[in-house]
């Protein structure tokens, strides 16, 4: 069971990481380009969260939990788990901020939008650090040694 599950888990992590990076590109392309483009951005970012990012990180959590009994315990595993938990928890908060930012933009509350946008970018960077930290820790510690 471990090989296909680990492969699936890593594919989901890749999907999640790709989603976060793609959203960062959206942000660079649309933020500061006018309110009409920022409204498009918030709607697009919200859709990506609903249909790709939230399902991806939810499945990462589920597959990660299923893989836990096979993981060698130790400091490397603890570090990987901390990075993963930071990524998931901050991504949940970021999704909340994405929804809030879209609502504020739709209402024309651009002051609220700016404040929420700033927060969302800061927390989004932490999501990225968490994902990369978990991946790098896992690879360097050899926890993916059973991967085909």
Give me the tens of pLDDT residue by residue for the chain, a chain 148 residues long. 458 999 999 999 999 999 999 999 989 888 888 999 999 999 999 999 999 999 999 999 999 999 988 888 889 889 999 999 999 999 999 999 999 999 999 999 999 999 999 999 999 999 999 999 999 998 887 654 444 4
**Residues 143, 125, 52, 81: is their CA dihedral positive or negative?**
positive
Whether 24 is in a domain gets the answer: yes
Element (H, E) at 86: helix 75-107
Range of the domain at 25: 2-141
Please check whether residue 43 lies inside any domain of the structure.
yes
What pLDDT was estimated at residue 73?
Answer: 83
Instruction: Dihedral sign for Cα 142, 140, 125, 33, please.
Output: negative
- The tally of domains found in the chain comes to 1
Residue 73: which residues within 8 A CB-CB, separation 6 or more? none
Residue 7: inside a domain: yes
Give residue 3's pLDDT.
86
Look at the block and give the residue holding tokens 């901050």: 90
- The reported pTM is 0.88
125 occurs within a structural domain: yes
18 assigned to some structural domain: yes
Give residues with Cβ within 8 angstroms of 84, minimum separation 6. Answer: 60, 64, 130, 134
């Amino acid at each position: 069971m471990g090989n296909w599950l680990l492969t699936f888990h890593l594919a989901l992590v890749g999907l999640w990481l790709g989603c976060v990076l793609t959203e960062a590109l959206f942000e660079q392309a649309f933020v500061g380009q006018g309110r009409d483009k920022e409204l498009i951005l918030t709607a697009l970012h919200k859709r990506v969260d609903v249909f790709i990012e939230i399902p991806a990180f939810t499945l990462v959590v589920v597959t990660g939990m299923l893989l836990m009994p096979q993981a060698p315990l130790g400091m490397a595993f603890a570090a990987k788990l901390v990075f993963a938990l930071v990524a998931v928890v901050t991504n949940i908060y970021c999704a909340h901020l994405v929804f809030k930012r879209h609502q504020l933009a739709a209402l024309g509350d651009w002051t609220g939008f700016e404040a929420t946008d700033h927060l969302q970018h800061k927390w989004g960077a932490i999501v990225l650090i968490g994902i990369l930290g978990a991946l790098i820790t896992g690879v360097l510690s050899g926890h993916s040694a059973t991967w085909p």
